[in-house]
Structure 1
């Protein structure tokens, strides 16, 4: 049973992402206990549930314990164990501090009594910064707007998934220096988030989407082969198996129009389609294991955006080594407002040469 309580009928006014992230408060047990209302999503090839679910639902649970004039400004998360999509999650909110200007909450996500995810969040009272303020922001780069009806084949390649995205060509993709490259995309929640959800629903939706393609940035800037490992249970891939099937079914001209497929990937997919070793004669490095370790979000303008309108996301990685990698992410509203900055560290282990001989 993937939910503790039978899910109620979905509210017609809810968007897909609202329904997906809906929580049930277990008030008869403890007002600070919550559980997932809807079944959990396990991406094909992933170790467990989509990490964005835990990030967003812990935020949603904490927001239920905060006064309406307080807003999240930062959250720091750790992925402890892979979540099982067949088991309900219990979210326990601890009210660490409730001050005049700031409030602190910790939330633990548990399955069968074991912590699978933990986060600490800080909330700030609106307009508590004073009349005179120190202000600056990194501007959004100039680029072409998103094109309606040309979304990536993401979220299982489904046209009914909770969010849409359009990946853009990697900036400086031909550079030999991975740290100079930037992966970019447009993203938004599918449909319209209901008025009843308030700004909290938009924040939860942003938190959910912030985990999309995040640590996979490292594989993309290093041009690592990231498709053949999809069926391994310990791999968090930047592309799922259903998408790979669609890519294999495309002709070469159609593949060239898919913005997240670079020339190296194109050649490998062509070989895979022909039943050949996708590596050819190349000494191709392949992802052996890629999972998120931690995730931080700093919310800069939490009430000045809508998650169901196009947002621009830009990611770069300053460092990778010792089997780990770090990625920075900036999220902008369509009008150029910097909404959030995110940081994620993940395990990024290559398939070792001797593994292929086992």
Structure 2
């Protein structure tokens, strides 16, 4: 398995599928045993990150698990643990265990392995969708509403369908988003701050509900634990803020564009003297899918994040994902390891950044 990103030669990308569907495709490896799958194509390794993008591993584990349940079962929760940084130069094997198949619920565990070592594990629960048993009279119901803003306190509106305002530095990958908005940015309490961003998969997803849910799982990991850097105004680039003016004009422009895009302000020099990230990695990741049938990941979805707690070199971030019509599609929780650089640390000690939080 050394030195090859896939076990089998990757097939040509299917032009009838969205880029994210091609990126998350898994291939069954029945020759190795029952319920074993592998990545069909090489996963994305964000520049400067410790390993492959975590959202891709989450989504491919979900893709493998969905292949082992009956078609009338749909995912309602994933509980995931990141164990080791994954390599984009090695194939991944996804081992699915059929833990339980009941009348109403089914449970799967999936281990993602490289070189025989488990790099990621998740337990996924599925629920049977039976419209005949759904009755408003037998269910307790409530749901968060789409956030409101502006002088008229109107629900937030998504960008236009032909949106193309991403700067080049963030315009790669199978999904796109808008500039991150900081809410309550001037509050002295980080718990009061929120980040908001509209996101969607590029192209048109054609693989039905399963493909939309995998795409949502993929994008749920974007900028997640990095919320801590924004609400605490932490410097995360691999050089000190004081050194910004020493960069070439071209690199200054890239840093300025990314800094502003992430909701940190238009001038990186304003970060001079701020604490610096030494290490930032995800430890675990949970997704609760509330309305799987309404997920349209190739349409605009609003991601709102905040953090109720940080301490002991760890932090917790919560995320709500809404459809553009205001339906709460999912609630996500992530805990990560956050370590700051000690003052006067040598600039050669570059921060180790979580996959999905690219550095330059």
TM-score, length-scaled by structure 1: 0.86
1:28 counterpart SS class: helix
Q: CA deviation at 1:11?
A: 1.6
| Matching residue within 326, 329, 334 for 1:339 | 329
Structure 1 equivalent of residue 28 of structure 2:
25
| Matching residue within 297, 301, 315 for 1:325 | 315
1:356 counterpart SS class: coil
Q: CA deviation at 1:355?
A: 3.0
Q: CA deviation at 1:175?
A: 0.7
Q: CA deviation at 1:260?
A: 3.0
| Matching residue within 63, 67, 78 for 1:64 | 67
Structure 1 residue 158 corresponds to structure 2 residue 142: no
Alpha-carbon spacing, 1:38–1:257, altered in 2? closer, same or farther (3 Å): closer
| Matching residue within 159, 179, 193 for 1:181 | 193
Structure 2 equivalent of residue 309 of structure 1:
299
Structure 1 residue 149 corresponds to structure 2 residue 159: no
**Contact 1:16-1:191 within 8 A present in 2 as well:** yes
Q: CA deviation at 1:258?
A: 4.4
Gaps of 5+ in 1: 231-243, 270-277
Alpha-carbon spacing, 1:221–1:152, altered in 2? closer, same or farther (3 Å): farther
| Matching residue within 268, 290, 299 for 1:300 | 290
**Contact 1:93-1:105 within 8 A present in 2 as well:** yes
Structure 2 equivalent of residue 136 of structure 1:
142
Structure 1 equivalent of residue 267 of structure 2:
266
Structure 2 equivalent of residue 352 of structure 1:
342
**Contact 2:182-2:263 within 8 A present in 1 as well:** no
Structure 2 equivalent of residue 39 of structure 1:
42
Q: CA deviation at 1:198?
A: 1.5
Structure 1 equivalent of residue 252 of structure 2:
248
Cα distance in 2 for partners of 1:285, 1:167 equals 23
| Matching residue within 156, 170, 182 for 1:170 | 182
Gaps of 5+ in 2: 148-154, 241-247, 350-360
Structure 2 equivalent of residue 240 of structure 1:
none
Structure 2 equivalent of residue 102 of structure 1:
105
Alpha-carbon spacing, 1:334–1:85, altered in 2? closer, same or farther (3 Å): same
Structure 1 residue 7 corresponds to structure 2 residue 10: yes
Correspondences of 1:283-294 after superposition (within 5 Å)? 284-294=274-284
Q: Which moved more, 1:125-134 or 1:135-144?
A: 125-134
Correspondences of 1:189-268 after superposition (within 5 Å)? 189-194=201-206, 197-228=207-238, 248-249=252-253, 258-263=260-265, 266-268=267-269
Cα distance in 2 for partners of 1:205, 1:66 equals 19
Alpha-carbon spacing, 1:19–1:31, altered in 2? closer, same or farther (3 Å): same
**Contact 1:103-1:124 within 8 A present in 2 as well:** yes
Count of residue pairs the alignment pairs up: 327
Q: CA deviation at 1:169?
A: 2.1
**Contact 2:198-2:300 within 8 A present in 1 as well:** yes
Alpha-carbon spacing, 1:248–1:61, altered in 2? closer, same or farther (3 Å): same
Write the deviation string for residues 131-162 of structure 1: whole angstroms up to 9, x where unpaired: 221100011112242144344348x5335x20
Cα distance in 1 for partners of 2:319, 2:54 equals 16
**Contact 2:28-2:36 within 8 A present in 1 as well:** yes
- Aligned-residue Cα RMSD (Å) equals 2.4
1:353 counterpart SS class: coil
Cα distance in 1 for partners of 2:56, 2:342 equals 31
Structure 2 equivalent of residue 235 of structure 1:
none
